[in-house]
Protein backbone atom coordinates (compact mmCIF):
# COMPACT_ATOMS: atom_id res chain seq x y z
CA UNK A 1 0.00 0.00 0.00
CA UNK A 2 1.33 3.44 -0.94
CA UNK A 3 1.54 5.86 1.99
CA UNK A 4 3.79 8.61 0.59
CA UNK A 5 4.51 10.51 -2.65
CA UNK A 6 8.05 11.82 -3.06
CA UNK A 7 9.73 13.69 -5.91
CA UNK A 8 13.50 13.96 -6.47
CA UNK A 9 14.11 17.68 -5.83
CA UNK A 10 12.50 17.32 -2.39
CA UNK A 11 14.53 14.20 -1.62
CA UNK A 12 17.69 16.01 -2.75
CA UNK A 13 16.80 18.87 -0.39
CA UNK A 14 16.43 16.35 2.44
CA UNK A 15 19.78 14.83 1.46
CA UNK A 16 21.45 18.26 1.77
CA UNK A 17 19.80 18.70 5.18
CA UNK A 18 21.07 15.30 6.35
CA UNK A 19 24.57 15.93 5.02
CA UNK A 20 25.09 19.38 6.54
CA UNK A 21 24.24 21.40 3.45
CA UNK A 22 23.48 24.73 5.19
CA UNK A 23 19.78 23.92 5.53
CA UNK A 24 17.85 23.93 8.80
CA UNK A 25 14.73 21.94 9.70
CA UNK A 26 12.40 24.91 9.10
CA UNK A 27 13.76 25.44 5.59
CA UNK A 28 13.24 21.75 4.88
CA UNK A 29 9.66 21.89 6.22
CA UNK A 30 9.02 24.96 4.05
CA UNK A 31 10.18 22.91 1.04
CA UNK A 32 7.89 20.04 2.01
CA UNK A 33 4.99 22.50 2.35
CA UNK A 34 5.87 24.12 -1.00
CA UNK A 35 6.10 27.56 0.56
CA UNK A 36 6.52 29.88 -2.45
CA UNK A 37 9.98 31.35 -2.93
CA UNK A 38 11.03 33.70 -5.72
CA UNK A 39 13.11 32.11 -8.45
CA UNK A 40 16.77 33.04 -8.25
CA UNK A 41 18.64 34.46 -11.23
CA UNK A 42 20.53 31.15 -11.50
CA UNK A 43 17.27 29.16 -11.58
CA UNK A 44 15.81 31.45 -14.23
CA UNK A 45 18.96 31.14 -16.34
CA UNK A 46 18.84 27.36 -16.03
CA UNK A 47 15.22 27.22 -17.19
CA UNK A 48 15.98 29.54 -20.10
CA UNK A 49 18.97 27.43 -21.11
CA UNK A 50 16.87 24.26 -21.16
CA UNK A 51 14.27 25.96 -23.36
CA UNK A 52 17.02 27.21 -25.67
CA UNK A 53 18.41 23.68 -26.04
CA UNK A 54 15.13 21.82 -26.46
CA UNK A 55 12.89 24.41 -28.13
CA UNK A 56 15.36 26.85 -29.66
CA UNK A 57 13.89 29.70 -27.57
CA UNK A 58 16.15 32.74 -27.08
CA UNK A 59 19.28 30.86 -28.10
CA UNK A 60 21.13 34.15 -28.52
CA UNK A 61 21.29 34.50 -24.72
CA UNK A 62 23.94 31.79 -24.63
CA UNK A 63 27.31 30.94 -26.16
CA UNK A 64 26.57 29.21 -29.51
CA UNK A 65 29.48 26.81 -28.97
CA UNK A 66 28.01 25.65 -25.65
CA UNK A 67 24.59 25.23 -27.30
CA UNK A 68 26.16 23.15 -30.07
CA UNK A 69 28.20 20.97 -27.69
CA UNK A 70 25.19 20.25 -25.45
CA UNK A 71 22.96 19.37 -28.39
CA UNK A 72 25.56 16.92 -29.70
CA UNK A 73 25.16 14.99 -26.44
CA UNK A 74 21.38 14.60 -26.70
CA UNK A 75 19.92 11.29 -27.89
CA UNK A 76 19.11 10.94 -31.58
CA UNK A 77 16.29 10.70 -32.15
CA UNK A 78 14.67 12.44 -29.20
CA UNK A 79 11.65 10.25 -28.51
CA UNK A 80 9.92 12.50 -25.98
CA UNK A 81 10.48 15.50 -23.70
CA UNK A 82 9.33 16.21 -20.14
CA UNK A 83 8.63 12.51 -19.61
CA UNK A 84 6.58 11.62 -16.54
CA UNK A 85 8.09 8.85 -14.40
CA UNK A 86 6.83 7.00 -11.37
CA UNK A 87 8.17 4.00 -9.45
CA UNK A 88 6.88 2.26 -6.35
CA UNK A 89 9.51 1.83 -3.63
CA UNK A 90 7.94 -0.12 -0.77
CA UNK A 91 5.17 2.24 0.46
CA UNK A 92 6.49 5.26 -1.48
CA UNK A 93 5.37 6.44 -4.92
CA UNK A 94 8.43 8.17 -6.38
CA UNK A 95 7.56 10.47 -9.28
CA UNK A 96 8.75 13.35 -11.45
CA UNK A 97 9.76 14.44 -14.94
CA UNK A 98 12.96 13.77 -16.85
CA UNK A 99 13.91 16.35 -19.49
CA UNK A 100 14.06 14.01 -22.50
CA UNK A 101 14.49 10.42 -23.58
CA UNK A 102 15.84 8.67 -26.65
CA UNK A 103 15.51 5.01 -27.54
CA UNK A 104 17.82 3.78 -24.77
CA UNK A 105 18.90 6.77 -22.66
CA UNK A 106 17.37 9.59 -20.66
CA UNK A 107 19.02 13.01 -20.43
CA UNK A 108 18.59 15.68 -17.79
CA UNK A 109 20.03 19.12 -18.51
CA UNK A 110 21.78 20.90 -15.66
CA UNK A 111 23.32 24.34 -15.23
CA UNK A 112 25.64 25.36 -12.42
CA UNK A 113 27.85 28.20 -11.31
CA UNK A 114 30.69 25.76 -10.64
CA UNK A 115 30.96 22.06 -11.36
CA UNK A 116 32.49 19.36 -9.18
CA UNK A 117 33.16 15.85 -10.53
CA UNK A 118 30.55 13.19 -9.63
CA UNK A 119 28.14 15.87 -8.47
CA UNK A 120 25.11 13.69 -9.31
CA UNK A 121 26.48 10.38 -8.00
CA UNK A 122 23.77 10.16 -5.32
CA UNK A 123 21.13 12.36 -6.95
CA UNK A 124 17.62 11.02 -6.48
CA UNK A 125 16.89 11.61 -10.17
CA UNK A 126 19.03 8.51 -10.77
CA UNK A 127 15.94 6.57 -9.67
CA UNK A 128 14.19 7.71 -12.86
CA UNK A 129 16.09 4.89 -14.57
CA UNK A 130 14.11 2.30 -12.66
CA UNK A 131 10.86 4.05 -13.56
CA UNK A 132 11.84 4.17 -17.25
CA UNK A 133 13.29 0.71 -17.80
CA UNK A 134 9.96 -0.56 -19.14
CA UNK A 135 10.45 1.99 -21.94
CA UNK A 136 13.83 0.41 -22.75
CA UNK A 137 15.89 3.13 -21.03
CA UNK A 138 19.17 1.72 -19.72
CA UNK A 139 21.17 4.89 -19.07
CA UNK A 140 20.62 8.33 -17.58
CA UNK A 141 23.02 11.12 -18.47
CA UNK A 142 23.31 14.51 -16.83
CA UNK A 143 24.52 17.03 -19.41
CA UNK A 144 25.88 19.89 -17.34
CA UNK A 145 27.23 23.31 -18.20
CA UNK A 146 28.75 26.11 -16.16
CA UNK A 147 28.39 28.22 -19.34
CA UNK A 148 32.11 27.96 -20.05
CA UNK A 149 32.44 24.18 -20.44
CA UNK A 150 30.22 21.09 -20.76
CA UNK A 151 30.35 17.97 -18.58
CA UNK A 152 28.59 14.60 -18.64
CA UNK A 153 27.80 12.14 -15.86
CA UNK A 154 26.40 8.74 -16.90
CA UNK A 155 24.65 6.20 -14.69
CA UNK A 156 23.24 2.78 -15.58
CA UNK A 157 20.63 0.51 -14.02
CA UNK A 158 23.41 -1.38 -12.24
CA UNK A 159 24.64 1.76 -10.44
CA UNK A 160 24.10 1.32 -6.65
CA UNK A 161 21.15 3.26 -5.21
CA UNK A 162 21.54 2.13 -1.58
CA UNK A 163 22.23 5.68 -0.34
CA UNK A 164 19.13 7.10 -2.02
CA UNK A 165 16.93 4.29 -0.68
CA UNK A 166 18.28 4.82 2.85
CA UNK A 167 17.57 8.56 2.58
CA UNK A 168 13.99 7.74 1.53
CA UNK A 169 13.61 5.65 4.69
CA UNK A 170 15.08 8.49 6.78
CA UNK A 171 12.79 11.02 5.11
CA UNK A 172 9.73 8.96 6.01
CA UNK A 173 10.88 8.99 9.65
CA UNK A 174 11.42 12.77 9.50
CA UNK A 175 7.92 13.28 8.11
CA UNK A 176 6.30 11.20 10.82
CA UNK A 177 8.27 13.03 13.51
CA UNK A 178 7.15 16.42 12.14
CA UNK A 179 3.74 15.41 10.80
CA UNK A 180 1.91 18.13 12.74
CA UNK A 181 3.92 20.77 10.83
CA UNK A 182 3.17 19.41 7.35
CA UNK A 183 0.44 21.51 5.74
CA UNK A 184 0.81 20.25 2.15
CA UNK A 185 -0.86 16.88 2.44
CA UNK A 186 -0.03 15.76 -1.11
CA UNK A 187 3.04 14.05 0.30
CA UNK A 188 0.80 11.66 2.27
CA UNK A 189 -1.60 9.18 0.71
CA UNK A 190 -4.83 8.86 2.67
CA UNK A 191 -6.38 5.40 3.15
CA UNK A 192 -8.45 4.51 0.08
CA UNK A 193 -7.03 7.42 -1.95
CA UNK A 194 -5.70 6.88 -5.48
CA UNK A 195 -1.94 7.18 -5.04
CA UNK A 196 -1.19 7.81 -8.74
CA UNK A 197 0.77 11.08 -8.86
CA UNK A 198 0.01 11.58 -12.56
CA UNK A 199 -3.63 12.22 -11.69
CA UNK A 200 -2.80 14.98 -9.22
CA UNK A 201 -1.62 18.56 -9.71
pLDDT tens digits for range 189-201: 988 888 886 655 4
Per-residue pLDDT tens over the stretch 8-64 = 999 999 999 999 888 999 999 999 999 998 889 999 999 999 999 999 999 999 999
CATH of 4-195, one of 1.10.510.10, 3.40.50.980, 3.40.50.170, 3.90.320.10: 3.90.320.10
Q: How confident is the model at residue 84 (pLDDT cuts 50, 70, 90)?
A: very high
3-state helix, strand, coil in the chain (%, to 5): 40, 20, 35
Share of the chain above pLDDT 90, in %: 90
Arithmetic mean of pLDDT over the chain:
94
CA distance 119 to 20: 16
The domain ranges of the chain are 4-195
Average pLDDT over residues 159-164: 97
In Å, what is the CA distance from 25 to each residue of 40, 113, 118, 161? 21, 26, 26, 25
Asked whether 28 and 9 are in contact (CB, 8 A), the reply is: no
Amino acid sequence: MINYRFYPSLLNTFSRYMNGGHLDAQQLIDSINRVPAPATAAQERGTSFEEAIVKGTNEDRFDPDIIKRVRKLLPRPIVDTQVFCQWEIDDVLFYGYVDLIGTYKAVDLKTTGSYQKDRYLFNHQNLYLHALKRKGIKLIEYVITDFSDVYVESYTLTHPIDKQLEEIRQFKAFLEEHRSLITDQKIFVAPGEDADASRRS
